[in-house]
Amino acid sequence: MKWIGSGVLLWLLLLPLPVAAGEASLWEFGLRGGMEATGSKENYKAGEVYLLRALPWRTDLAGGVLTARLDLGVGVLEADNDGGGWLAGGADLVWQLADGRVEIEGGFRPPWLVAHSYGSDDFGGGMQFSSHGGIAVHIDPVVISYRYQHTSNASIYDDNDGLDLHLFGVGARF
């Protein structure tokens, strides 16, 4: 299933669409927090400070606008008595619906985990791969968002427990 999402994202990035330079760049800064979705042996809680930077690429798509952005984050991850953090950076594709107040996003953000063992879960090592999909609602300048995020090491280490998270966010655009 994770390969389907990655394949769609790659296809959209390489799709030859008419492209126009976008309007002024847009920044978003905020906080996300949440918990594990399924499949983990431990009880995870996560928090993140994030920064998004809109890129000038944009094209009309299905009554809305498809855009791209950089996605950076610094997070904490806790499970029972174990804690650690991550640094992540990647890119998102964002489809803004016609009125611009609702966005549907998908992206890829490889994180580096500071700790890779949490109780009986072992992520194998620091280098991980993370993909996500979500939705955001804008009430200018506030943005309220939900993101489903999958993180694993794609079997580059012997252990590959993986982690799925539900993340809820509040941010501000400037």
Mean pLDDT of the chain: 85
For residue 161, pLDDT beyond 80: no
Q: Mind listing the pLDDT tens digit for each residue in 49-106?
A: 999 999 988 888 988 999 999 999 999 999 988 899 999 999 999 999 988 899 999 9
Angstrom distances, CA of residue 96 to CA of 5, 61, 80, 123, 167 = 19, 9, 38, 34, 20
Q: Which residue has the higher pLDDT, 54 or 42?
A: 54
Tokens coding 118: 């949490």
pLDDT for the residue 21:
47
> Tokens 């506030």 map to which residue?
142
Written as one string, the DSSP assignment of 65-100 is EEEEEEEEEEEEEEETTEEEEEEEEEEEEEEE-TTS
Domain holding 158, by residue range, is 2-16+23-173
Strand partners, 84: 77
What predicted TM-score, i.e. pTM, was given to this entire model?
Answer: 0.82
**Strand pairing class (27-36; 20-21):** unpaired
Give the CATH number for residue 50.
Answer: 2.40.160.20
At 146, the amino acid letter reads Y
Question: How many domains does the chain contain in total?
Answer: 1
Q: Give residue-wise pLDDT tens across range 2-16.
A: 555 555 544 544 454
Question: 149 forms bridges with which residues in the sheet?
Answer: 132, 165
Strand pairing partners for 77?
46, 84
**C-alpha span between 119 and 43 (Å, rounded):** 9
d(CA 23, CA 31): 25
